[in-house]
């Protein structure tokens, strides 16, 4: 339900969840964590475990972890390159997905 509402917020541009102006707020963690590594991740790992060795699964998790880390660390650069209108377009696109 929360992810659905976040998607609606992204697509429609309305503020459903009241944003905190403090960028270092601790409330980001409970929302961001399930989106990055939520129940879908755990379900995927369990289904992969039936077909693949644990070393391959662990290697995939580590590669994914590195990609997510690099992406999150480069958000400032992405924001400068895309600008506000580009970020709005990306936000609406991912809201639809």
- Give the residue with greater pLDDT, 78 vs 41: 78
Contacts of 45 (CB under 8 A, 6+ apart): 57, 61
Q: What does the alpha-carbon distance between residue 77 and residue 86 come to, in Å, rounded to a whole number?
A: 13
Is the pLDDT score of 70 beyond 50? yes
The pLDDT assigned to 93 comes to 77
Give domain limits for the chain.
Answer: 2-18+28-96
Instruction: Say if CB 97 and CB 11 are below 8 A apart.
Output: no
The pLDDT assigned to 42 comes to 74
The pLDDT assigned to 40 comes to 75
- Give the residue with greater pLDDT, 16 vs 74: 74
Question: pLDDT per residue over 15-55, tens digit each?
Answer: 765 655 555 544 444 555 556 666 677 778 778 888 888 88
């Amino acid at each position: 339900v929360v992810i659905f509402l976040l998607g609606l917020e992204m697509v429609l541009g309305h503020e459903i969840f009241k944003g905190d102006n403090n960028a270092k707020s601790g409330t980001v963690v409970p929302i961001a964590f399930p989106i990055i590594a939520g129940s879908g991740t755990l379900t995927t790992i369990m289904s992969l475990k039936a077909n693949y060795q644990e070393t391959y699964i662990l290697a995939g998790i580590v590669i994914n972890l590195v990609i997510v880390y690099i992406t999150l660390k480069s958000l400032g650069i992405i924001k400068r390159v895309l600008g506000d209108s580009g970020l709005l377009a990306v936000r609406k696109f991912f809201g639809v997905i």
